[in-house]
A = this chain, B = another copy of it.
Amino acid sequence: MSKRSLALREVYRLLEPGPVVLLSTAYEGRLDVMTQSWHTMMEFEPPIIGCIVSSANHTFGVLEKTRECVISIPTAELSKAVVGCGNTSGRSVDKFEKFHLTPLPASVVRAPLIAECHADLECRVSDASLKRRYNLFVLEVLKAWHKPYDGPLRTLHHRGRGHFMVAGKTIKLPSRMK
């Protein structure tokens, strides 16, 4: 099923619930992807995301050099790939191949979308000034995609050490909150 464009004002609704994400990069023709849970929305529109990437990660250096990435949101069905990408390094492993993830070309960045994920956010690093102090990259979402899905969305929320809470059931309360 092909991906559809998603309005940027809707992006916070994907990340605010706190799902584990896959953060993909491309550098010198080589694709890589890491598992990531330490992120927060910082602004609604244009959507700004704060993302902590350890300087020990291969991705840290790639983000510094390319200042681009894609944040993709996996559903619960992808739990093995999520854990696999979190337990290996792009220095030695082609994770797209090893974990059967299918890269798709993005529209404005070189980093790839991931076919199996239900949403993808094309991002550029808008502020890298906090990377030394806090490993913090501030990202602006330039383009968002999602995949219509059947049934309730089930996302993964990492509790540490391979434990994931699965969020599925959604409740709705009267609210004026954005």
Contacts and interface: CB of A to CB of B under 8 A. Distances in A.
Interface string A19-46: 1000000000000000101111111000
Contacts of A174: 83, 162
Given A135-B42, A167-B165, A175 B83 contact: yes
Contacts of A41: 37-38, 52
Contact of A165 (B39, B83, B170): B170
A166 B173 CA distance: 13
B166 A13 contact: no
A43 to B, nearest CB: 8
B168 A136 contact: no
A176 interface: yes
A159 B165 contact: no
Given A17-B158, A166-B167, A177 B83 contact: yes
Nearest to A52: B42
Contacts of A66: none
Contacts of A87: 175-177
A147 interface: no
A71 B98 CA distance: 40
Contacts of A43: 134
A174 to B, nearest CB: 6
27 contacts: A13-B160, A16-B38, A16-B157, A16-B158, A16-B159, A17-B18, A17-B157, A18-B18, A18-B37, A18-B157, A37-B41, A40-B40, A42-B136, A48-B134, A50-B134, A80-B173, A83-B173, A86-B177, A87-B175, A87-B176, A158-B177, A160-B177, A162-B177, A164-B172, A165-B170, A167-B167, A168-B169
